[in-house]
Amino acid sequence: MTELTKRNKSILSVIVCAVFLAAVYIGDMLVPPTSGMRMLFTVLEKGSVYALVAVSMNLLNGFTGLFSLGQAGFMLIGAYIYAIFSIPTAMRDSVYQYFEGGLIKFSVTENLGNALGTVMGDFGVMLGEHIGMIFLMLCAGILTAGVAALIGLPVLRLKSDYLAIATLGFAEILRAFFQWKAAGPITNSSNLLRSYTTYETPLFPVIAAGLCIAFIVLLINSSYGRAFKAIRDDEIAAEAMGVNLFKHKQMSFIISSFFAGLGGALLAMFQSSVASTPFTSNMTYEILLIVVIGGIGSVTGSIIGAYLFVACSEWWLRGLDSGAFLGISAGFMRPGFRKVVFAVIIMCIVLFYSRGIMGNKEFSWEGLVGFFKRIFSGKKKTSEKNHKTNTDKEKEAR
């Protein structure tokens, strides 16, 4: 098995993907809700959402060379669009308690569920709800993309660092808008949105994020992707080669925002309640740091980075907060210590390992074989294998 044909590789990828998804499905059924291993699924779900958002940011920052810091703002739009339109009508009075039940009196997921439920019974309810969820996710993406198109008009004419500040600023404006009292009947102002429809199986975010990432990979490997990379490498030369700078920047910006919005919707589902407060510049920074950890300009890297980031912050480094980590216990390990350690690790990566995990390379079966040959012993963490398999979807797409 030294030389893999293209066909064999795609078959291999499809098989690995299917096995992985089946494993998630079965695992989800088998692991009881009280088990510590549930954490694995939390990481898988949140990691998938972050992977999608990180890849969408990478499309802008790593592949088009636009240093944009608006990701949190776009996720906020997506999350809100999804949440607002899927809160069941019965719950609206309690959710919008300060706004007399809010302005919107319907729920896309509930209504669709009921409509199909009358025809097909319980299965119809489930089907209707899922159609509604997917429809709302797409709406979240499209509306976010629309907002991005408007923001892009002025902002994309700016140079690198001004662009960074302006996008950061727009994200802040968006957040202010969602907290605005006058918009309360729709956005619930700064109060929590909750009780909306969410997914039931961890497969949902994994598949949704996987499909979206597959699209981004296909785009990057198309002629448009080459134009984006040309802009990143040298704007003046790209323009001299006939690449319309503004059109392509706008395109990249809109597509990236579409997926950020969609990712926001997925995040809303994962959290099962959403408020505008956490969507600050700090959230954008975290996503940017994921991209950096994985390697700017590598989709695989962003995916691995996202899972590592989520696994560390939600799971592996938890002990640092509670006072016991790897058998060491000390008084200084109290809440917040984990994040300090984490920030130090990130700074070390930025300073000493700036290429990140993958540099600008992508996953390939040859690369994986080579990697195993190099380390010679087959010892690898199971979780890391999961990351790899997830990236296969891209491979399959090629």
Partner 1 sequence: MNFFVENLPYILAGISVGGQYALIAIGYTMVYGILRLINFAHGDMFMVAGLVMVYLAASLPVYIAIPIVIVFTVVLGCTIEVVAYRPLRSAPRMSIMISAIGVSYLLQNTALYVTGGLTQTYPTIPWLAKTVTVFGAHTKMVTLITPVLTIALVIALVILIKYTKIGMAMRAVSRDFETSQLMGIDINRVITVTFIIGSFLAAIGSILYFSNYTGVMPTSGSMPGLKAFVAAVFGGIGSIPGAVIGAFIIGICENIIKGMELTVFSNAFTFVLLIIILMVKPTGLFGEKNIDKV
Partner 2 sequence: MSKENVLRVSDITMQFGGVVAVDDLSLEVNKGEIIGLIGPNGAGKTTAFNVITGVYAPTNGAVELNGEIIVENCPQGKMKTLYKGKNNGKYKDVKVLTPDKITKLGVARTFQNIRLFKGMSVFENVLVAMHMNLESGVFGAAFRSGKAKAEETAMREEAMRLLKMFGLEKNKDDLATSLPYGKQRHLEIARALATKPKLLLLDEPAAGMNPQESAELMHLVEKIRDEFDLSVLMIEHHMQVVMGICERIYVLDYGALIAQGNPEEIQNNPRVIEAYLGVDE
Tokens of 27: 């695992």
Half-sphere exposure of 174 (CA within 13 A, CB side): 30
Q: Between 248 and 388, name the residue whose CB sits nearer to partner 2.
A: 248
How near is the Cβ of 82 to partner 1 at its closest, in Å? 22
- Which element (helix H / strand E) includes 346? helix 337-352
Q: How crowded is residue 259: how many other Cβ atoms within 10 Å of its Cβ? A: 26
Residue in 253, 225, 230 with CA at minimum distance from that of residue 240: 230
Range list of H helices, 184-333: 184-187, 203-220, 223-233, 235-240, 245-271, 281-294, 299-311, 318-322
Residue 294 and residue 26 in contact, taking contact as beta carbons nearer than 8 Å: no
**Interaction site with partner 1 (CB under 8 A):** 61, 67, 154-155, 157-162, 164-166, 168-170, 172-173, 176-177, 179-181, 236, 280-282, 285-286, 288-289, 292, 296, 334-337, 339-340, 342-344, 346-347, 350-351, 354
- Strand 328-329 and strand 324-325: pairing? antiparallel
Q: Residue 251: which of partner 1, partner 2, none does it interact with, CB under 5 to 8 A by kind? A: partner 2
What count of residues does the chain have? 398
How near is the Cβ of 216 to partner 1 at its closest, in Å? 20
Residue 324: beta bridge partners?
329
How near is the Cβ of 124 to partner 2 at its closest, in Å? 31
Q: Residue 227: which of partner 1, partner 2, none does it interact with, CB under 5 to 8 A by kind? A: partner 2
Q: Between 72 and 260, name the residue whose CB sits nearer to partner 2.
A: 260
Q: Residue 244: which of partner 1, partner 2, none does it interact with, CB under 5 to 8 A by kind? A: partner 2
Q: Between 232 and 388, name the residue whose CB sits nearer to partner 2.
A: 232
Q: Between 227 and 303, name the residue whose CB sits nearer to partner 2.
A: 227
Q: Residue 233: which of partner 2, partner 1, none does it interact with, CB under 5 to 8 A by kind? A: partner 2
Residue in 316, 266, 256, 313 with CA at minimum distance from that of residue 54: 256
Residue 68 and residue 164 in contact, taking contact as beta carbons nearer than 8 Å: yes
How near is the Cβ of 69 to partner 1 at its closest, in Å? 8
How near is the Cβ of 377 to partner 1 at its closest, in Å? 33
**Interaction site with partner 2 (CB under 8 A):** 215, 218-219, 222-224, 226-227, 229-230, 232-234, 236-245, 251, 255, 297, 360
How near is the Cβ of 182 to partner 2 at its closest, in Å? 37
Q: Between 163 and 255, name the residue whose CB sits nearer to partner 2.
A: 255
Residue 295 is classified by DSSP as -
Q: Between 124 and 185, name the residue whose CB sits nearer to partner 1.
A: 185
Q: Residue 160: which of partner 2, partner 1, none does it interact with, CB under 5 to 8 A by kind? A: partner 1
Residue 329: beta bridge partners?
324
Rounded to whole angstroms, the Cα distance separating 365 from 375 reads 16
Q: Residue 18: which of partner 1, partner 2, none does it interact with, CB under 5 to 8 A by kind? A: none
How near is the Cβ of 214 to partner 2 at its closest, in Å? 10
Q: Residue 230: which of partner 1, partner 2, none does it interact with, CB under 5 to 8 A by kind? A: partner 2
Rounded to whole angstroms, the Cα distance separating 80 from 273 reads 10
**Contacting residues for 15 by C-beta, under 8 A, at least 6 apart:** none
Rounded to whole angstroms, the Cα distance separating 250 from 340 reads 37
Q: Residue 370: which of partner 2, partner 1, none does it interact with, CB under 5 to 8 A by kind? A: none
How near is the Cβ of 141 to partner 2 at its closest, in Å? 14
